[in-house]
Amino acid sequence: MRKRGLAVSLIVMGVAASLALSMIGTSESSPQLIQTFGLSATTDAFSAYFVLRDSSGNDVSSGGSVGLRIYDDFSVVLCDVFFIVHDGDFKKYATPTGDMVLGYIWTIEYSSMAKSDNRNDSLNAELSFGYKGNILTKNIGNVPFPPELKAPNKLPSPVLNGPTSGWSKRQVRFDASNSTDPNMDSLSFSWALGDGHQETSGENATYAYSKAGRYTVVLTVNDSEGGSRSVSHNITISDPEVMVIDAYGRWNGTSGDARSGDFFVNMTIRNQAPFEVEIRSSLFQTRDQEGQTSNSSGAETTGSSIIDTGMTARMMVFFEVPSNSTPIVLLYDSRIILPFGEQSTGNLTVHFFDVGQGDAILVESPDSRNMLIDCGPESAASTLVESLKSLSVTKIDILIATHPDADHIGGADEVLAAFDVQSIYHPGFFTDTATYGNFLDAAQAEGCSIYTDDQIDPGDFISFGQTVVQILNIDGNAPNSNSASIVLKLEYGTIRFIFTGDIDFNVENSMMANPSLDLNTDILKIAHHGSRYATSDAFLEAANPIIGVVSVGAGNPYGHPSPETLGRLSSHDIDVFRTDDDGTVIISTDGVKWATTLEPATISEISMIQESSKGITLPRVSASISLSPSVLAIDEWSSPQRCNGTTDISAMNRKTDINVLLICHWRNE
């Protein structure tokens, strides 16, 4: 950049000043140093000047090259110029201190300079002078920083990191340390934790939510110039304890029983957290319609009151409730509220339809909601629609298209045409296929809410009545369609399902590496029809399922399920059901126990040997045989049982230590 002009200040010297010129040399002298260098600010420009001095201490004029850099405290350069001067360009002038010197002076207009985000009071400058191969330099600080060179305030950029899930009464840490301000200003942080609590704790906030729920955390970052920006983050807090009331009422004790007449509650409690929890009977209360509470007067526990992760315990709690009072809710630790009379609302039923080589799974909730996970291939679309209608399905509350492969969404357009679909979830992974195009057209025509990777993230929850549904994986930018698969975890009471789409080892590893995801489950839909490239030993160890369901077509050309995958399932002692062998697999649960039924069954008399404490398989043999999950639990069998005619058989508690040999024969009358 060339200099923009000279502004030379000359003083008309009198006789008294002539003596001062004796120290001013001529162009014949060689400069040895930059004696003086300065910048003075005016309303629209800097006035820059420098003086060269020779070895005798005389001011000299000399042709050479001049370089000037003006920069702020963060080394942001506002001016960087280079130009040539000649002997005749040096003039006599008075410095701001009144000294008469021989030097060079020029003007640098602010309009030619960059602006700085720095908010300090001064700048820095560096001058270099080149003369016959020699370079002289001089640096100065405390250069005036005129307001005209200060850039307008830029708002801070808040960054909020934190888990998407946590546990009640456990501290959660939110981190805003990556927040920045373009102006390098100091920042202040204020936090709204979503439950009415406010904090100004700096760039990190640690908080323990007292109750389960979904909270929106809002971080507001302010700079020292009044700039402010906010960012939000959603977190779902769960209670570690899942409680199901099995029975309640007035205790009819024997004569002399001190608790006779007390109100009792018998319940099953499961620990769903990745740490042990202690159940303290003293934290239980009942409350009646008048708002009167009664504290626990004691408890009897089957097993330890300290429950390991994934394990269950039974507890009977007693309350001295007045005879004229009727409790309506049970409270635990003022955060878990269980209404009496509303626990046994029915079963949740999951249908793994036999659609050949593909997936189609219906979840029927106890509050009459329907979720359809995938729609199978186009060849099975009509059969799937008829199967849904035979179950009296008229509305599908949630349709999950796990990924855009034809064996998962081929029947979607026919399903969307046949039923009222309320919402659709798919990863948003694009494939240039007619099947995917038909699905997108049908989804748009349905006119319902559509959610993709743009709106939801792993760890988010989907509202599905009394049933908890969490997204474990969704990736619209995955390297392939299988890895894009939506993975769901469903929990009803103490029973858990995971539906895996067509994920592979890489996605399994990614989920296992996410500390906020709990992969422990009871029933696992085996990924990718039992492909050898999914369902690793490590994943099975993390999920620890009891039942595995493979949705697969008979005689498929892919060799699914692979012998390697079946071997891994066997080595982990997982009971496997296959739609190619067993037909449609139906699992029903009351939230504590479950039963599995298979259809179709082709024989009228079945011998079943079940050596397991995990659940009971109930083949559906004919219309005259009534087989449904019971609210009771099988605790032990002293001898083989024989059942004739119409019979209800209950499922067993999960993961007890009882080994059962159960042989039942059902015979049509």
- What are 470-510's pLDDT values in tens digits? 999 999 999 999 999 999 999 887 789 999 999 999 999 99
Q: Is the pLDDT confidence value at 142 over 80?
A: yes
Pick the residue with more confidence: 533 or 663? 533
Residue 103, helix vs strand vs coil: strand
Pick the residue with more confidence: 557 or 119? 557
What is the structure's pLDDT at 645?
32
Instruction: State pLDDT tens for residues 227-252.
Output: 999 999 988 888 899 888 888 999 88
What is the structure's pLDDT at 596?
86
User: What tokens were used for 360?
Assistant: 């189609």
> What's this model's pTM, rounded to 2 decimal places?
0.49
Q: Is the pLDDT confidence value at 342 over 70?
A: no
Pick the residue with more confidence: 669 or 127? 127
What is the structure's pLDDT at 328?
84
| Residues whose CB falls within 8 Å of the CB of residue 261, separated by 6 or more in sequence, listed in order | 250, 251, 253, 323
What is the structure's pLDDT at 117?
80
What is the structure's pLDDT at 336?
83
Distance of CA 646 to the CA centre of its chain: 48
Task: Point out which residues pair with 445 in neighbouring strands.
Answer: none
What is the structure's pLDDT at 255?
62
Q: Whole-angstrom Cα distance, residue 145 to residue 452?
A: 51
Q: What is the SS3 assignment for 52-100?
A: EECCCCCEECCCEEEEEEEECCCCCEEEEEEEEECHHHCEEEECCCCCE
pLDDT band, residue 636 (cuts 50/70/90):
very low
Q: Whole-angstrom Cα distance, residue 498 to residue 489?
A: 4
Instruction: State pLDDT tens for residues 535-552.
Output: 999 999 999 999 999 999
What is the structure's pLDDT at 594?
82
Instruction: State pLDDT tens for residues 90-108.
Output: 999 887 777 888 999 999 9
Q: Whole-angstrom Cα distance, residue 388 to residue 393?
A: 5
Q: What percentage of the chain has pLDDT greater than the value 90? A: 59
Instruction: State pLDDT tens for residues 217-229.
Output: 999 999 988 899 9
Q: Is the pLDDT confidence value at 620 over 60?
A: no
Pick the residue with more confidence: 614 or 67? 67
Query: Among 310-324, 350-364, 606-620, which stretch is predicted with the lowest mean pLDDT?
Result: 606-620
